[in-house]
Amino acid sequence: MTFLVDFSGKLFTKNAKVTLKDLSANSEAIVACVRGSKGVPHLSKFTLQKALVAFYSKYKLFPEGVYAEIPAVQQWALKQAEALKKMVGKVRKLMRRAPSSKSHRLQRLRERISALRVPGYEFTTSKVA
């Protein structure tokens, strides 16, 4: 799991809009979040913040001298959680709205999420002619 970035590689800012390109750039985090949420449609950004901090602490991903209780780390995790929440919501809407995607990367993301068989994220894999 890496930092969540927009399609240009910049970190998400607080009020950034999520685009389709952003979804394909962060597919690993989105799939992990969908798998972990088990289909719960409304994710709290504070729950995601705690999960991110716990993940980084458990696998010792923080640099030496940085620990989970530092306010800057908590603020960073909250920004990442907000971006992840927006992306998961966008994927959920996208999967309900259209059966397939023109973008190959987005189609792969949709197929990976569909393979998880999580309620609320089902879609048909048939190609639209």
Task: Please state, in angstroms and as integers, the Cα–Cα distance from residue 40 to each residue in 20, 30, 36, 44, 120, following that order.
Answer: 22, 14, 9, 10, 8
Backbone angles phi, psi at 70, to 5 degrees: -65, 130
Amino acid in position 59:
Y
Percentage of residues of the chain with pLDDT beyond 70: 91
What does pLDDT average to over the chain? 83
Buried-state track 95-111, b at ≥16 Cβ within 10 A, e below 16? beeeeebeeeebeebbe
Domain boundaries, the chain: 20-115
Amino acid in position 117:
R
Instruction: State the DSSP code for 14.
Output: T
Q: What is the pLDDT of residue 128?
A: 46
pLDDT at position 105 over 50: yes
Name 11's bridge partners: 5
Q: Considering Cα of 12, then 17, then 22, then 27, what sign does the dihedral take?
A: positive
Q: What is the pLDDT of residue 69?
A: 93
Asked if residue 34 lies in contact with residue 89, where contact means CB atoms within 8 angstroms, the answer is no
Q: Each residue of 8-17: pLDDT tens digit?
A: 778 777 677 8
Q: How many other C-beta atoms can be found within 10 angstroms of the C-beta atom of residue 115?
A: 10
CA 121, CA 95: separation in Å to the nearest integer?
A: 6
Q: Each residue of 31-86: pLDDT tens digit?
A: 888 888 887 878 899 999 999 999 899 989 888 999 899 999 999 999 899 989 98
pLDDT at position 1 over 70: no
